[in-house]
Chains A and B, each alone.
Chain A
Amino acid sequence: MPSRTSCTCTSIHASGRRETLATIVSEASRRATALRERATFDLMRFRKFLLLLLHDKLAAAGLVIIAAFIFISIAAPLLVGPYPTQFDRTKAMQPPSNAHPFGTDWQGFDVLKLVVYGGRVSILIGFISSIVAMLLGTTVGLVAGYYGRVTDQLLSRATDFFLVIPWLPFVLILVAILGSSLATIIFAIAIVSWPTTARIIRAQVLTVKERQFIERARAVGSGNGFILRKHILPNVMPLVWAEAVLTISSAVFTEAFLSFFGLGWRGPGAVESWGQIANEAYVNSALLRGLWLYFAPPGIFITLVVLGFAMLGYGLEEVLNPALKRRV
């Protein structure tokens, strides 16, 4: 008897396993279909979104500028060859020539090469600082807006405080004391960049949390953390994206000032950012020697990138926030 029982048992087991397998397979295929449908839906939405964005001339122009600069930064070795490393004082501060269209810097390096590579450092720092600032700003905005009362009071005061302090002396003092490394520069830039985001996110959370579905979620017993993560965050996320792009713009700008004050960070392979190139041109009085092609290009590139991200950011804001639409 025991053996039979065991036999039935295994057969049940076997059939059960087969059934489970079948369910798993069908479940998987169902999920795959759902996923594919969702992906196409997302893709369609994305395409629609992109079309809308490209329809906005400002955003489209910004996108083109950014794409161009990211391409230049990545393809730098292909465009101008390897980054110069051979320090040669005899070739320093040369006026523009055929070999060096923008002349050479104080180390004898080709300015064109420096400028093309410079975007790597400037844009990289902009991206990372923006991510850090978004994490900080979004968290503060969510918590302040959702919990309200004393929490909101405290966080909002802190936000206002960091919003009004003069940003340049603040980042200068931070980086001067902490020493200039990638981490400290990003920390300093993020510290002055998060408040605007926190403010905007908080305002958005205030309107979202009054909606009915939040009340319903609470009625079925969802916790605060769950509501924040699953219901409120997705609703403010589009704004976070727009803010992130705008923050990259201001981060690149801030980095340029830090570097111009001699507190810049050199990228891997001692690559200089645009701000550092401008600083060296200034310190070596390039303009007084008439070498304006040494000083002008880094500034133009900073302006274009800052402008590009700002235009894309404003465009995104307009597409995502219909209330702003009529301003166009």
Chain B
Amino acid sequence: MWLIASLNFFIVQVLPGDPTRVLLPRGSSNVTQGGSDLRAQLIRQWGLDQPITTRYVVYFANLAQGNLGTTITYQKGGFPVAGVIAPRLSTTLVLVGLATAATMWLGIVLGRISGWRRGRRVDVAITMGTLVGYSMPSFWVSLMLIFALAYIVPIFPAYGIQSRDASTFNPITQVLDQLYHYFLPVLTFVITNVAWFSLTLRNSLTDTLPEDYMLTAMAKGLTQKQQLRKHAMPNARLPVLTASALYFGWVVSGAIVIEEVFNIPGLGQLTWDATRVRDFPLLSGVFLVATLGVVVANAVADVLYLYLDPRVREA
């Protein structure tokens, strides 16, 4: 975590690039226009005239108090970054949670089929299909889905997370309404990411099936279903969990694009806005939160691994 924060500090503070340029109108750094006074003032305000070690210490002191600095542009500037990020975090977590659950479920179903029937037509179709989905940029998939399923054939809402009159619904309808709005974003996610799970599961099943204990299982007269559930899957699903470490980085990246396109007020949309106006404190705050999220997710996956691996669990 210290590493991540340091890298974050390094990117914003040390790399060349002048954050004051963003706030000042173009060309106003010219002395005759009095721009340099303003610039000097800004530099003092942000402590940019301090030596790098001092800034480093100050940065960590602030971080420890949950202070991520103030935004440059958001809500006319001066708004604390942490205050902008916090309310959006839950929206993003819901989206990412739903999407991951759906992707994992479908990935495991598809991976099991194509691993069991590898080399057959079903396997080729699944492998190619997931690979094509994986190669498609999510911004393109999401916009084409909106175009097809919300514009040409208007069966799904094109944007937002709830209907405009959602506050008049009863609680259950409200939840259903939100799920309805989440359908297209989650579908985009599933299409572009399902290959992570289906392909790793297929490959690890392929490694597992020729093992001797599978032959034993068959010789014992177990049905195919029993062989899969009791003998193949427990071993095959471990590599899938390992692969998910890389998957989490993609989740965040996918969420950024999907939230912007579907106008979901989460962290991703914030990233898009911050990028457009070059709001570095905000951008680095989002990056910090996203990276921490990925690290936490990986820690959870590690714990799950311990739980799912019978050899470790019983030891």
Interface flag for A271 (CB, 8 Å): no
Chain B residues positioned under 8 Å from A288 (CB to CB):
151
Interface flag for B39 (CB, 8 Å): no
Chain B residues positioned under 8 Å from A249 (CB to CB):
135
Interface flag for A148 (CB, 8 Å): no
Q: B275 to A177, Cβ gap below 8 A?
A: no
Interface flag for B253 (CB, 8 Å): yes
Interface flag for B286 (CB, 8 Å): yes
Interface flag for B194 (CB, 8 Å): no
Within 8 A of B (CB), among A228-275: 249, 253, 256-257, 260-263, 275
Interface flag for A101 (CB, 8 Å): no
User: Given A167-B249, A177-B12, A177-B15, does the pair A292, B291 have CB atoms closer than 8 Å?
Assistant: no
Interface flag for A166 (CB, 8 Å): yes
A179 to B140, CA, bound (A): 25
User: Residue B137 contacts which of A161, A257, A290, A327 (CB distance < 8 angstroms)?
Assistant: A257
Interface flag for A70 (CB, 8 Å): no
Which stretch from B45-53, B80-88, B141-149, B162-170 is at the chain A interface? B141-149
User: Given A178-B17, A261-B272, A278-B140, does the pair A164, B295 have CB atoms closer than 8 Å?
Assistant: yes
Q: A176 to B294, Cβ gap below 8 A?
A: no
Chain B residues positioned under 8 Å from A173 (CB to CB):
11-12, 280, 283-284, 287
Chain A residues positioned under 8 Å from B146 (CB to CB):
287
Interface flag for A10 (CB, 8 Å): no
A169 to B284, CA, bound (A): 9
Interface flag for B203 (CB, 8 Å): yes
Chain B residues positioned under 8 Å from A164 (CB to CB):
245-246, 248-249, 294-295, 298
User: Residue B294 contacts which of A165, A256, A275 (CB distance < 8 angstroms)?
Assistant: A165
Residue tally, chain B, CB below 8 Å to A: 53
Within 8 A of B (CB), among A280-309: 282, 287-288, 290, 292, 295-296, 298-299, 302-304, 306-307
Interface flag for B4 (CB, 8 Å): yes
User: Given A166-B294, A168-B253, does the pair A303, B151 have CB atoms closer than 8 Å?
Assistant: no
User: Residue B253 contacts which of A169, A304, A310, A327 (CB distance < 8 angstroms)?
Assistant: A169
Interface flag for B313 (CB, 8 Å): no
Within 8 A of A (CB), among B133-190: 134-137, 139-141, 143-144, 146-147, 151
Interface flag for B26 (CB, 8 Å): no
| Least distance between A291 CB and chain B CB atoms (Å) | 10
| CB-based nearest B residue for A282 | B143
Interface of A is mostly: helix
Q: B139 to A282, Cβ gap below 8 A?
A: yes
Chain B residues positioned under 8 Å from A256 (CB to CB):
137
User: Given A164-B245, A262-B276, does the pair A278, B206 have CB atoms closer than 8 Å?
Assistant: no
A31 to B73, CA, bound (A): 69
| Least distance between B217 CB and chain A CB atoms (Å) | 20
Interface flag for A142 (CB, 8 Å): no
Chain A residues positioned under 8 Å from B118 (CB to CB):
327
Interface flag for B252 (CB, 8 Å): yes
Interface flag for A163 (CB, 8 Å): yes
Interface flag for B55 (CB, 8 Å): no
| CB-based nearest A residue for B206 | A327
Chain A residues positioned under 8 Å from B135 (CB to CB):
249, 253, 303-304, 306-307, 310
| CB-based nearest A residue for B245 | A164
Chain B residues positioned under 8 Å from A168 (CB to CB):
252-253, 256-257
Chain A residues positioned under 8 Å from B139 (CB to CB):
257, 260, 278, 282, 299
Within 8 A of A (CB), among B237-280: 245-246, 248-253, 256-257, 261, 271-272, 275-276, 278, 280
Q: A257 to B291, Cβ gap below 8 A?
A: no
A260 to B257, CA, bound (A): 9
Q: A166 to B147, Cβ gap below 8 A?
A: no
Chain A residues positioned under 8 Å from B284 (CB to CB):
173
User: Residue A177 contacts which of B11, B245, B286 (CB distance < 8 angstroms)?
Assistant: B11
Interface flag for B3 (CB, 8 Å): yes
| CB-based nearest A residue for B207 | A327
A314 to B132, CA, bound (A): 14
Chain B residues positioned under 8 Å from A298 (CB to CB):
140
| CB-based nearest B residue for A166 | B252
Chain B residues positioned under 8 Å from A295 (CB to CB):
140, 143-144, 147
Per-residue B-contact encoding for A166-192, CB less than 8 Å = 1, 0 else: 111110111011110000000000000
Chain A residues positioned under 8 Å from B140 (CB to CB):
278, 295, 298-299, 302-303
Q: A176 to B283, Cβ gap below 8 A?
A: yes
Interface flag for A216 (CB, 8 Å): no
Q: B151 to A287, Cβ gap below 8 A?
A: yes
A295 to B134, CA, bound (A): 19
Interface centre among A164, A327, A328 (most CB of B within 10 A): A164
| Least distance between B135 CB and chain A CB atoms (Å) | 4
Per-residue B-contact encoding for A150-169, CB less than 8 Å = 1, 0 else: 00000000000101111111
User: Residue A176 contacts which of B246, B280, B290 (CB distance < 8 angstroms)?
Assistant: B280
CB-defined A-B contacts under 8 Å, sample of 22: A161-B3, A164-B245, A164-B295, A165-B294, A166-B291, A166-B294, A167-B253, A168-B256, A169-B287, A169-B291, A177-B11, A177-B12, A179-B17, A257-B253, A260-B137, A261-B272, A299-B136, A299-B141, A299-B144, A307-B132, A310-B135, A327-B207
Given A163-B246, A257-B139, 14 additional A-B pairs, CB 8 A: A164-B248, A166-B248, A166-B291, A167-B249, A168-B257, A169-B290, A174-B11, A262-B276, A278-B139, A282-B261, A288-B151, A292-B144, A304-B135, A327-B118
Q: Which 5 A-B pairs have the closest CB atoms?
A: A299-B140, A168-B253, A166-B252, A307-B135, A306-B135
